[in-house]
Structures are given as C-alpha cells and as structure tokens.
Amino acid sequence: MLQNLKELQKEDLRKEVLALKADGYRFVTATCVDLGDGRFDIIYHFDKDYRLTNIRITTQAEEKVPSISDIYFAAVFVENEIKDLFGIEFENLLIDYEGKFMITEELESPMRKKPVVKVKKGE
C-alpha cells in the first residue's frame, strides 16, 4: 500500500502540484499503471525533507491528462515516457516527442495491456 497518497480528479492536478511546489516539494517522477479496463492510474511522486508525497489520478485511455511540465520541467521526460509506453496523451506538454521519445514507429504503446479475448470451449 502506497503511503501518503492523495487521490485527485484530473481537473485538480495542476492546482495541487502548484501548491506542493510553493511548499518546497521537488518532483521525483511519475508512475503509470494500466488497470486493464481502459483506465490508467498515474501516480506523481514528490519529496520534501526525505518524505514522499504521492498524488494519484485515474484517466480513461482516450482522455488527455494535463501536463505539469510547465511547473516542473523534469516532468517533460516522464510524461513523454508514459505517452510512448502507454499511449496516454498530455495537454500542453512543453516538449512533445510525438511518441518517439523512447520507441520507434514500429511499436505502439508496448506497456498497454492487450484486451483479453475469451474463447469458448470447442471453438
């Protein structure tokens, strides 16, 4: 279980991140988890005085997530990584590698779970 976790709506993400920055927190990274049902959790990790604070948002695969790269420039890298590996789009990403930050055109969202096809017995 992740400690110090705050769950937010996407619409509240930037406001909370701005408050953390104003309070002296540094951005560590973000983690994306494919929930397997078309939804994704993105967990943002922040640190202040060796204490982690985490923010989780849940988004649908086709929805855009607000970028925090204009608040913490280092987020440019992990947001592009999430875009490449999971196919999640970010709004107003300061530098957008257009899906070519980590992977080539031959791969498409390699970390995204593939839909499970159930086969009936005898087919």
pLDDT in tens, 32-81: 999 999 999 999 999 999 999 999 999 998 999 999 999 999 999 999 99
The answer to whether residue 21 sits within a structural domain is: yes
The answer to whether residue 80 sits within a structural domain is: yes
Give the global pTM. Answer: 0.86
Query: Does the CA dihedral 16-59-102-67 come out positive or negative?
Result: negative
The answer to whether residue 100 sits within a structural domain is: no
The answer to whether residue 12 sits within a structural domain is: yes
Instruction: Give the chain's domain count.
Output: 1
The answer to whether residue 25 sits within a structural domain is: yes
Q: Residue 49 sits in a domain of what CATH number?
A: 3.30.460.80
Q: Which residues form the domain of 63?
A: 5-91
The answer to whether residue 105 sits within a structural domain is: no
CA nearest neighbour of 111 among 90, 76, 87: 87
The answer to whether residue 104 sits within a structural domain is: no
What dihedral do alpha carbons 68, 73, 78, 83 form, nearest 10°?
A: 60
